[in-house]
Structure 1
Amino acid sequence: MAPSQPPMRLTEVGETIRRRWRVVVASVLVALMGAAGLSSLWPDEYTATAIVSVSPITPNPFGGTSAPQQLNMNTEQQVVRSTEVATAAAELLGSTRYTPRELTTRVSVTSPSDSQILQIAFTANTGARAAAGANAFAAAYLDSRVAGADELAERLISALEDRINELIEQQDDDASESLTAVAVQQQIIELRQQQSSLVTVALNPGRIIESATAPGSPSSPGLPVTLIGGLVGGLLAGIALALFRDRHDRRITHAARLRDLLGGSLVIDGTVESDRDEPYRHALLELTRLHPRSGTDGPVLVALAGPADGQVYEAATCLVEVAHSHRMRARLIDSDRMDMSAVDAGWPGSADVLSDWASDDLVVLDLTMITSRTRRIALARRCHAIMVAATKRSRRKPVQEFVGQLAVAEREIDLGILLPAERRTSAREFSGPKAGSDGMHARRPVPGDAAERSTGWPATIRPGR
């Protein structure tokens, strides 16, 4: 199982967005076009609001209190949106355009905190219908409360009537006691008065304090709002997509990723240099700094590997050419010319270095054609420095495998170089991929002229002096 990647820092997010700006721009453009199309298809809708003041219903006179009942405004909001009120509102509108259930989807109710106010909003395709719908719901809600209040009054009147009848029966039973009869009679009179009040005085459920009027402009979002929403949404989606693609991209794509693959080793980013030779000058400087040599020590041996097809070999030739321009004696040992039996026997050892390349300052061993992991690691361990060259389009897996193999051998990568996407020169022609390649090997170079073929290994590049 691959190790989980660490969370990205803010600077890394910015760099990712900069690298993947095309993804972000494409996402924004798609979102804007979608928003424009949606705005053209989205019908205009209008919203009107009626405001209702809700009054509490008078409590039961037998409850022992004259304070009004406490209203639960959340409950009242649900009552407004009930099917019963919607049915009454549909009857008031006198239209069969919407069913009561559809009407409930077009009404919304809010209530300011610590108040007994309901704000009933209704949405329709015209301002007049929106105002009519809001007023119809307000009236239907109050009618519903009136019906409820009347029902309560009827129950209270009936309860009072039952109590009066009980007192009359008690008065007949206690007719012999004059004082008791007087008290019962007085109580009957008071109950009659309460009953009369309930009959003659209507209970107040509330009132409409502000009727809805037809709005002059639609409440649905217009084109500017829709485009702004599309811009913001597209930008966020584009950033998320860019981060996702970058995090799951199997290619190296940038110098920071190659640096992570190499365990934090120095990586020279050749993609940002206008001078094609500058990355190799930098590499040569770092190699001589890391491995300074005297005239009697022999050359610095550099093992060069990488997953780029042909460009790794080109990087090796460029490094040698830059060394020549610095008046250094340098040569390139092509892996295609190496004697693998000699490699298995321990070549190049210290004796080989001093005998074969005693007058050289730098020897670059191109490992890209070696298919055997064991031989590749053995050669890398015998060199003073190990370089990995890759392009932004190179796959990460071969580099990871090479670094892992070196880690087992307790060797680290000394230097990495991210090559430009375009080739600097066409030093050699390359044939198709070599059979059995594991991804770390470049395409096989075709030997040059007949003299070079007859000379054989090792191929030598020397400065003209």
Structure 2
Amino acid sequence: MTVAVTVALSAAGAQLIPAEYSAVATLTVSPITTSPFSSAAVNQQINITTERAILGSSQVATLAIRTLGHDIGPEELMRHSEVAAPQGSQILEVTVSADTAEKAAARANALASAYLIFRADGAKEIADAFIADLDGQIKEIENKANADSQERQQLWDLRAQRTTLKLVALSPGQVIGLAIPPTEKSSLDTKIFLVGGLVGGLLLGLALSLLRDRWDRKVRFADRLVAATGATVYTLNQDDEEESLRWILRFLTRSYEPNQRPGRPAGFLGLMPADPSVLVLKLRDMAQAHGLDSCTVDKDVLNGQALDAGWPLEIDRIELGSRDLVLMELAEFVAGSRLASISERFLESLVLVVHHKTNIKDVIAVVGQARDLPHMRLIVVFYDGRPRRRATDTPQTTTTPSGTEPQNLKDPSPFESKVSQQDMPVNNPLKSIERKLDAGQRLIAGRKET
């Protein structure tokens, strides 16, 4: 989107910027001797930097306007002209830009001619002052009746100097390259604008992505979740949902310590907008299909009052302790001291279920708290609720930092299914467990008959 916008803006800018043409006139600068007392070596020296400044001056621009017919002001002409002087040479190049090729060439030639005229007029003005002085000296010697040989030699030298000064303004320089109307625009082409817009859009998009990733508070991607928490992360894949569920079940039933507490109780805590209820039911069904005696406990039954009263009670421990797997739905208020208490009394594993829109700070807080509990095992289940991929798309994968096998992403959520009536919570936790256990046994029986 960013690239498209920048390319469109660049194309619009290319149309709004007027066309521009540039023409170049080249001229040489000849030495000018304006003093009859200068040496030959000094006479041949030219300060090309000074001459370059003169060519770009307002006086020369004003003089050039007379040739152009006053179709442009001196300030504008100076603003659209540029003078260059190659190093170590006596050459000047004047470049003029205009909205047409003909105007550019005419203005460049006018500036070159105006510079030579200005230089010649300046030299003539200085030379005329010296000529007037020489004329006085010549006349004084000519008026003498008996001039000696020395005075006659001096008269010859004065006349030679006068001739040299008289010719000084005739060769201020020469135009060696007339400006011709260019055939191509000097302004940037539309293609360059489009390429610039494309490159600029890519860079801008990259910068915006980095800023979004830095300031975004959502989980967004499984890799970001792994980097932020360092926890074991399983991601769900609709294309092979059972494979993802088997990995989670493997984690919950795998023995990590020789003296595990009975019942292998696992709590499922969903951080908004993730809801673990259907995940719990599907795991229970899979566990029963694998021959495990499993049951579920609804989060609506495990309210804050029951937890604060010391749940599970002795009768609950006896009943639940006989199961191979107990899956408990935890409400969001089961955090802090309540999570610590139920972990010490009963809970063995915590499955943190998150959504791509879950606030990543909430995940980090719960993960940090769970790691402080001595007997708690933790995994994070990531659900990517963004639009479903096409069948031809290649599933993405992410690898957990703890070395577990890569799991595929899932679309859409398994948590959006409706919970059946038989799994609705009841007032008594054990009655709820029994009803769910009966449902699982019926499911096993049906599969065996099939």
Interval containing the TM-score (normalised by the shorter chain): 0.7 to 0.9
Give the structure 2 partner of residue 141 of structure 1. 115
Q: CA RMSD in A?
A: 3.9
After superposition, residues 283-362 of structure 1 pair within 5 angstroms as 283-289=248-254, 291-292=255-256, 297-338=261-302, 340-341=304-305, 343-344=307-308, 347=311, 355-362=318-325
Q: Following the alignment from structure 1 to structure 2, what is the Cα–Cα distance between the partners of residues 49 and 343?
A: 90
Shift, 1:132, TM fit: 0.6
**TM-score, length of structure 1 as denominator length:** 0.72
Q: Which amino acid aligns with 1:356?
A: E
CA distance in 2, matches of 1:424, 1:34: 43
Name the residue aligned to 1:453: 426
- Measured after TM superposition, the shift of residue 416 of structure 1 is 1.5
Counterpart in the other structure of 1:266: 232
Structure 2 counterpart of 1:87, which letter? T
Aligned to 1:241: 208
- TM superposition shift of 1:39: 3.3
Structure-to-structure mapping, 1:355-370, within 5 angstroms: 355-370=318-333
- 1:234 and 1:316 map into 2 onto residues whose CA distance is 45
8 A Cα contact 1:335 1:369, kept in partner: no
- 2:200 aligned with 1:224: no
> Superposed, which structure 2 residues align to 1:46-57 within 5 Å?
46-57=21-32
Q: What is the TM-score when the length of structure 2 is the normalising length?
A: 0.75
Q: Give the superposition deviation at 1:135.
A: 1.0
CA distance in 2, matches of 1:234, 1:420: 28
Give the counterpart letter for 1:278 in structure 2.
E
Alignment of 1:387-406 (within 5 A): 387-406=351-370
Q: How big is the shift at 1:69? A: 2.6
Deviation at 1:213, TM superposition (A): 0.9
Alpha-carbon separation, structure 2, partners of 1:145 and 1:268? 85
Q: CA contact under 8 A between 1:48 and 1:213: conserved in structure 2?
A: yes
Q: Tell me which amino acid in the other structure corresponds to 1:223.
A: T
1:121 aligns to what? 95
Match 2:105 to one of 117, 131, 136: 131
Note closer, same or farther for the CA distance 1:428–1:377 as it changes in structure 2 (3 Å cut).
Answer: farther
SS in 2 for 1:314: helix
Q: What is the deviation of 1:220?
A: 2.8
CA–CA separation in structure 1 for the residues paired with 2:103 and 2:135:
47
1:80 equivalent to 2:45? Answer no
Q: 1:197 to 1:412 in 2, by over 3 A?
A: farther
Match of 2:172 in 1: 205
State the distance in 2 between where 1:153 and 1:193 align. Answer: 14
Letter of the aligned partner of 1:453 in structure 2? V
Contact 1:57/1:203 (<8 A) preserved: no
The aligned amino acid for 1:280 is L
Could you list the runs of 5+ residues in structure 2 that have no partner in the other structure?
142-147, 386-411, 445-450
Q: Cα deviation per residue 1:224-261 (whole Å; 9 max; x = unaligned)?
A: 33333332222322232233223322211101111123
In 1, are the aligned partners of 2:32 and 2:168 still within 8 Å (CA)? Answer: no
Change in 2 beyond 3 A, CA 1:151/1:59: closer
**C-alpha separation between the residues in 1 aligned to 2:323 and 2:249?**
15
Counterparts of 1:451 and 1:409, CA distance in 2: 31
**Match status 1:423 vs 2:413:** yes
